Amino acid sequence: MTAAVEIAEVVKEFGGLRAVDRVSLRVAAGERRVLIGPNGAGKTTLFHCITGTLPPTTGRIAFFGQDVTRLPEHRRTALGMGRTFQISNVIADLTCLENLMLAAIGTDGRKWVLHRPMVVFADVRERALAGLELIGLGHRADETPRRLSYGERRQLELALALTARPRVLFLDEPCAGLSPSERVRISKLITDLPRDLTVLMIEHDMDVALGLADRVTVLHQGRVILEGTPGEVQTNAEVREVYFGHG
Amino acid sequence: MRGARLALAAAVVVAAAALPFVAGPFWMGLVTQMIVFGLLALSVDLLLGHAGLFSICHGSFFAVAAYTTAILHVRHGAPTLLAAPAGLLAGTLLGLVFGLAVRTRGVYFILITIAFGYVVWGVAHRWSSFTGGDNGVTNVPFPAVAGMRVESHTEYYYLALGVAALCALGYRVLIRSPFGLALRGIKGSESRMRTLGFDSNRHLYAAFVLSAALASLAGVLYVYYNRFVNPVAASFPVSVEAALMAIVGGSGTIVGPFIGSAIILGLRNWVSSFFELYAAIMGIVFIAAVLWVPEGLVGLAARVRGRAARA
Amino acid sequence: MTTSAILQAINGTSLAALLFLVASGFTVTFGLMRVVNMAYGAYYLLGGYVGLSIMQATGSFALAVVGGGAAVTVFGYLVDRFLIQHIGQNHLAQVLLTVGIAFVVGDVALKIWGGDSLKVPVPVSLRGAMELPGGMIYPTFRFLLIFFGAAIAGTLWLLYTRTQIGAVVRAGVDDREQVSATGINVDRLFVMVSALASFLAGMAGVVGGAFLTLYPGAEWEILIVALVVVIVGGLGSLGGAMIGALVVGLLDAYGRWLLPEFSYFVLFGPMAVLLLFRPQGIAGREA
């Protein structure tokens, strides 16, 4: 069966520094894959290469069998990639509803309409509202993200990625900076995601990571040092040293 | 609140329609200029207030449209129905070329538009055989369609007013459309928009060309009013002032650029009547606006209203 | 034909020397302090006019050059301290503010020195023409300008690449936080760099005023050409400013000679090409 995401020997160099060093990965459709590793392991950079935010120095990236290595970011989104950022990247001056409407229309030809007001497209508005309801922010639809708490903004970030109806969701530390109760909330949201949606997640919090994952990939200094089930990873000595040794 | 705004809007409409009955040709001419330059400022603000791009070359589209219309009339005897649309088209075509600038962002974009603007000024200034050099093109006839000529100050005022009103309505539709929302999204976070599937460069390019078209329309209105055009129309001060008008009046709004135009032109008119160094005064207005009223008059009014509502 | 071509090359190179003086200050000020200062053209003009007055009063060209530079240094410092520092990193605000300053300077200069084209008198020892290899005659002053520009460029390059201050500036252009981490007084560094940049622009005005003349509007013409230099060479890059100055200077000279009516168009060429393939300029970093 075709893998949802398959990358081969991806390298990303910045000047003399190799942030990603010949990483290969194969994520099956519907899988929940978590990337863990200490800070600076290259996890976010790897995400950037796969989603197209940064071009890889060398390597090949395939999405459901299609080579997307040279495809620009917005085209990869059209194929079904969705992502969240480590630092909340929402549009601060637009309302939450407007944010999600943009997410809903991002890969729709109607985004080019300039002679009719947005409100005319009821289905877009409904999808956006549904996205807000899903994360429990339906009542804040007409407020801007500036009025939201940090945790709520992380949720909005997740809703943005989901509203675009991706086939593969890339989550970059969705729980970063959240209170314990907020973490539980987000974890539940992720767990409840439909099984036909493939999820790749970078997570620093071991408990969250191991609880959500089908398989875990461990990165260290840009290289994959282990890949396996949560149980295998948790008991591996090298991982313990690399990960916990660095705190 | 809504009642008050409606009443204000109604009062403005009535005042605008009634102006010719209370004002002489001088004042009508001044207000006509405010409208024309307000349109130019609006075109700059489509990029500035909605797409986050600060372009200082819109005088080029304005001037190219004006020159094209003027030259077609004066040297080739073209009728208005040909010369006016040709002017609009010429400026828009230039916009298609200068739109290359959207491959850059931030400071680079600003600098490149400045340089582009100067190229047009330089050509207008040096290519005397075609553009008339510093003297420009003079004796542009009154616009005439199907035997009806727009001759008097009053008639021209209503023409400009009508065109501006139509443009404002169209602009309103544009900024409320999905395209307009996408522009504001790009202004807010281009990286986020790209991951949502938007080709930001293409959107910005389209916005640039649209704003060039609007600036060109202002240029056509300008040349029929002025009855001549010279390189000053393409000069850097004109482009920069258009941006300042948008900012002073309130960037991101529809009326802001027009209010800004009224303030700047009104101020210049008043100051130059008693003080020689009015360019210096304009400079001081720039400085003051930046230091004390960065959100413009509309923004300031909103702030004051907000404070009043909370009190 | 070749004599003319070589002549234009010298013209272009001497212009490049002048352009480098104005552009280098602009580009390093941006690279280090992220300030876009559109008043550099006005600084040039102000320096030129002040130098002219000094020359008329004392007859000393050296004094005029230094005095013109010093006057602009002081003015530039006041502008930095009381105006630019209040608006932070907002480029739009910086552009509007500094354009406003340029308007004020231009208008006041018009009042004081009038609207006629004025020439800074070339010192007697540098007047006339000299004979170049190949039998060509070329104005001495303009020719020596090339060496003057090269000397300044060389000195700046040495300062930039071989001294500790230069290393700090280079690091600061790369990453502003790094500079404060080294313990150097960042504010004082900024003031020094800004002062040097202003001085160069003012000096350029005096020197340029000796062969290009000074007149209302000159401040914008020189600024625009300097901006093209900076765009072509890459914002923040001193080396880029050198390359850019040469490219633009030569293009301008040849453009004026071959296509006088379209010489501004010739400036457009490299910019458009650059935009298509390398928007950040020859030596600039990704925007």
Mean pLDDT of chain C: 86
Q: Nearest-CA neighbor of A96 among A86, A88, A87? A: A88
Using CA atoms in the order B95, B100, B101, B103, what is the torsion angle rounded to 10 degrees? 140
Q: B257: distance to nearest CA of chain A, Å?
A: 20
Neighbour-count burial of B60, counting CB atoms closer than 10 A to its CB (0-12 exposed, 13-18 middle, 19+ buried)? buried
- Domains of chain C plus CATH, in order, are 2-277 (1.10.3470)
Residue C242 CA to residue C232 CA, distance in Å, equals 10
Cα radius of gyration rounded to whole Å, chain B:
19
Q: Is the pLDDT at B106 greater than 50, yes or no?
A: yes
Measured between CB atoms, which of A51, A85, A106 is closest to B198? A106
Q: Is the pLDDT at B310 greater than 60, yes or no?
A: no
> What CATH architecture is A1-80+189-247?
3-Layer(aba) Sandwich (3.40)
Contact state of B177 with A114 under an 8 Å Cβ cutoff: yes
**CB of C97 closer than 8 Å to CB of C85:** no
Mean pLDDT, rounded, for C146-150:
88
Mean pLDDT, rounded, for C156-179:
78
Q: B210: distance to nearest CA of chain C, Å?
A: 21
Helix H or strand E segment including A175: none
**CB of B85 closer than 8 Å to CB of B219:** no
Residue B258 CA to residue C140 CA, distance in Å, equals 54
Mean pLDDT, rounded, for A177-193:
87
**Which residues on chain B are in Cβ contact (under 8 Å) with C276?**
100, 103
The pLDDT tens digits for B210-223 are 999 999 999 999 99
Q: Is the pLDDT at C13 greater than 80, yes or no?
A: yes
Q: Looking at this protein, which amino acid is placed at residue C220?
A: W
The pLDDT tens digits for A29-87 are 999 999 988 887 889 999 999 999 899 999 999 999 999 999 999 999 999 999 999 88
What's the angle, vertex CA A78, arms to CA A75 and CA A82, rounded to 5?
A: 100
Mean pLDDT of chain B: 89
Chain B interface test: which of C92, C225, C227, C228 (most B C-beta within 10 Å): C92
pLDDT score at C67? 94
Q: Given pLDDT bands bounded at 50, 70 and 90, which one contains residue B119?
A: confident
- Among chain B residues, the shortest Cα distance to C272 is held by B100
Q: B46: distance to nearest CA of chain A, Å?
A: 13
- Which residue has better confidence, B296 or B243? B243
Q: Six-digit token pair at A170?
A: 């890339």
Contact state of B107 with C36 under an 8 Å Cβ cutoff: yes
> Does C touch A (3+ CB pairs < 8 Å)?
no
Measured between CB atoms, which of A82, A92, A115 is closest to B177? A115
Chain C interface test: which of B290, B291, B292 (most C C-beta within 10 Å): B290
The pLDDT tens digits for C277-286 are 877 777 766 5
Q: In what order do the strands lie in the sheet with A17-27?
A: A17-27, A5-14, A58-63, A66-67
Which residues on chain A place their C-beta less than 8 Å from a C-beta of chain B? Answer: 51, 53, 72-74, 77-78, 81-83, 85, 89-94, 98-99, 101-103, 105-107, 110-119, 121, 124, 160, 164
The pLDDT tens digits for B265-298 are 999 888 888 877 878 888 888 888 888 876 666 6
Q: Which range is least confidently modeled, B58-62, B233-237, C84-88?
A: C84-88
Q: Is the pLDDT at B300 greater than 70, yes or no?
A: no
Other beta carbons less than 10 A from residue A214's beta carbon: 14
The pLDDT tens digits for B17-74 are 888 888 888 888 999 999 999 999 999 999 999 999 999 999 999 999 999 999 999 9
**CB of B178 closer than 8 Å to CB of B43:** no
Contact state of B290 with C108 under an 8 Å Cβ cutoff: no
**CB of A59 closer than 8 Å to CB of A7:** yes
The pLDDT tens digits for B170-195 are 999 999 999 999 999 999 999 999 99
Q: Is the pLDDT at A246 greater than 60, yes or no?
A: no
Contact state of A90 with B185 under an 8 Å Cβ cutoff: no
Contact state of C268 with B54 under an 8 Å Cβ cutoff: no
- The 8-class DSSP code of residue C128 comes to S
Q: Is the pLDDT at B209 greater than 90, yes or no?
A: yes
Contact state of C111 with B277 under an 8 Å Cβ cutoff: yes
Residue B28 CA to residue B160 CA, distance in Å, equals 11
Percent of chain A with pLDDT over 70: 98
Chain C interface test: which of B126, B130, B278 (most C C-beta within 10 Å): B126
Q: Nearest-CA neighbor of A82 among A176, A192, A193, A180? A: A193
Tokens 């840009």 belong to which residue?
A222
| CA distance readout (Å), A46 to A75, A172, A200, A228 | 18, 11, 11, 19
Q: Nearest-CA neighbor of C42 among C229, C214, C241? A: C214
Q: Which range is least confidently modeled, A185-199, B9-23, B171-185, C57-71?
A: B9-23
Mean pLDDT, rounded, for B138-167:
88
The pLDDT tens digits for A16-31 are 888 899 999 999 999 9
Measured between CB atoms, which of C87, C95, C271 is closest to B110? C95
Chains with at least 3 CB pairs less than 8 angstroms from chain B? A, C
Those residues whose C-beta lies under 8 Å from the C-beta of residue C34, and which sit 6 or more positions away, are C89, C91, C176
| CA distance readout (Å), B25 to B21, B28, C187 | 10, 5, 56
Q: Given pLDDT bands bounded at 50, 70 and 90, which one contains residue B84?
A: very high
Phi, psi of A217 (to 5 degrees): -115, 130
Helix and strand numbers (H, E) in chain C are 11, 2
Percent of chain A with pLDDT over 90: 49
Mean pLDDT, rounded, for A209-213:
84
Buried b (16+ CB within 10 A) or exposed e, B186-214: bbbbbebbbbbbbbbbebbbbbbbbbbbb
List the beta strands (DSSP E) in A80-222. Answer: 81-83, 168-172, 198-202, 215-220
The pLDDT tens digits for C190-214 are 888 899 999 999 999 999 998 888 9
Q: Hey, what CATH topology would domain B25-310 get?
A: ABC transporter involved in vitamin B12 uptake, BtuC (1.10.3470)
Contact state of C108 with B280 under an 8 Å Cβ cutoff: yes
- Which residue has better confidence, A206 or B42? B42
Measured distance between the N- and C-terminal CA atoms of chain B, rounded to whole angstroms: 15
Residue A12 CA to residue A5 CA, distance in Å, equals 18
Other beta carbons less than 10 A from residue C241's beta carbon: 33
Percent of chain C with pLDDT over 70: 95
Other beta carbons less than 10 A from residue B143's beta carbon: 24
Q: Is the pLDDT at B9 greater than 90, yes or no?
A: no
Neighbour-count burial of C146, counting CB atoms closer than 10 A to its CB (0-12 exposed, 13-18 middle, 19+ buried)? middle
Chain B interface test: which of A111, A125, A171 (most B C-beta within 10 Å): A111
Q: B211: distance to nearest CA of chain A, Å?
A: 13
Mean pLDDT, rounded, for C258-284:
76
- Give the number of residues written for chain B: 311
Q: Given pLDDT bands bounded at 50, 70 and 90, which one contains residue A185?
A: confident
Q: Is the pLDDT at A175 greater than 90, yes or no?
A: no
pLDDT score at A247? 42
DSSP bridge pairs for A67: A62
Q: Does C86 touch chain B (CB under 8 A)?
A: yes
What's the angle, vertex CA C5, arms to CA C1 and CA C11, rounded to 5?
A: 145
pLDDT score at C164? 79
Mean pLDDT, rounded, for C217-233:
89
pLDDT score at B306? 64
pLDDT score at B1? 58
Helix H or strand E segment including C139: strand C136-139
Q: C134: distance to nearest CA of chain B, Å?
A: 33
Q: Given pLDDT bands bounded at 50, 70 and 90, which one contains residue C182?
A: low
**Which residues on chain A are in Cβ contact (under 8 Å) with B198?**
74, 102, 106, 111
Q: Is the pLDDT at C256 greater than 60, yes or no?
A: yes
- The 8-class DSSP code of residue A241 comes to I
List the beta strands (DSSP E) in A15-155. Answer: 17-27, 32-36, 58-63, 66-67, 81-83
| CA distance readout (Å), B150 to B27, B71, B139, B141, B157 | 18, 19, 15, 10, 10
Q: A49: distance to nearest CA of chain B, Å?
A: 13
Measured between CB atoms, which of B111, B237, B291 is closest to C86? B291
List the beta strands (DSSP E) in chain A. Answer: 5-14, 17-27, 32-36, 58-63, 66-67, 81-83, 168-172, 198-202, 215-220, 223-228
ipTM: 0.91
* Domain spans of chain A, in order of start: 1-80+189-247, 87-165
Contact state of C279 with B108 under an 8 Å Cβ cutoff: yes
How big is the A-B interface in CB pairs under 8 Å? 101
Q: Six-digit token pair at A2?
A: 């075709």
For helices B25-51 and B256-272, give the axis angle rounded to 10 degrees.
130
Q: Nearest-CA neighbor of B242 among B260, B255, B266, B263? A: B260
Q: Is the pLDDT at C171 greater than 80, yes or no?
A: no
Contact state of B123 with C91 under an 8 Å Cβ cutoff: no
Phi, psi of B274 (to 5 degrees): -130, -5
Tokens 């089930």 belong to which residue?
A229
Mean pLDDT of chain A: 89
Q: Which range is least confidently modeled, B87-91, B290-294, C174-178?
A: C174-178
> Does A touch B (3+ CB pairs < 8 Å)?
yes
| CA atoms within a 13 Å half-sphere pointing along the CA-CB vector of C160 | 20
**CB of C74 closer than 8 Å to CB of C56:** no
Measured between CB atoms, which of A117, A121, A160 is closest to B196? A160
3-state SS, one letter per residue, for chain B: CHHHHHHHHHHHHHHHHHHHHHCCHHHHHHHHHHHHHHHHHHHHHHHHHHHCCCCCCHHHHHHHHHHHHHHHHHHHCCCHHHHHHHHHHHHHHHHHHHHHHHHCCHHHHHHHHHHHHHHHHHHHHHCHHHHCHHHCECCCCCCEECCEECCCHHHHHHHHHHHHHHHHHHHHHHHHCHHHHHHHHHHHCHHHHHHCCCCHHHHHHHHHHHHHHHHHHHHHHHHHHHCCECHHHHCHHHHHHHHHHHHHHCCCCCCHHHHHHHHHHHHHHHHHCCCCCHHHHHHHHHHHHHHHCCCHHHHHHHHHHHHHHHC
Q: Given pLDDT bands bounded at 50, 70 and 90, which one contains residue B303?
A: low
Tokens 């009542």 belong to which residue?
A139
**CB of B65 closer than 8 Å to CB of B217:** yes
**Which residues on chain A are in Cβ contact (under 8 Å) with B208?**
none
Tokens 């309409």 belong to which residue?
A113
| DSSP-based three-state secondary structure for A195 | coil
Measured between CB atoms, which of A92, A117, A164 is closest to B197? A164
Q: Is the pLDDT at C105 greater than 90, yes or no?
A: yes
Residue A135 CA to residue A130 CA, distance in Å, equals 9
pLDDT score at C287? 42
**Which residues on chain B are in Cβ contact (under 8 Å) with A115?**
173-174, 177
Residue C157 CA to residue C113 CA, distance in Å, equals 35
> Does B touch C (3+ CB pairs < 8 Å)?
yes
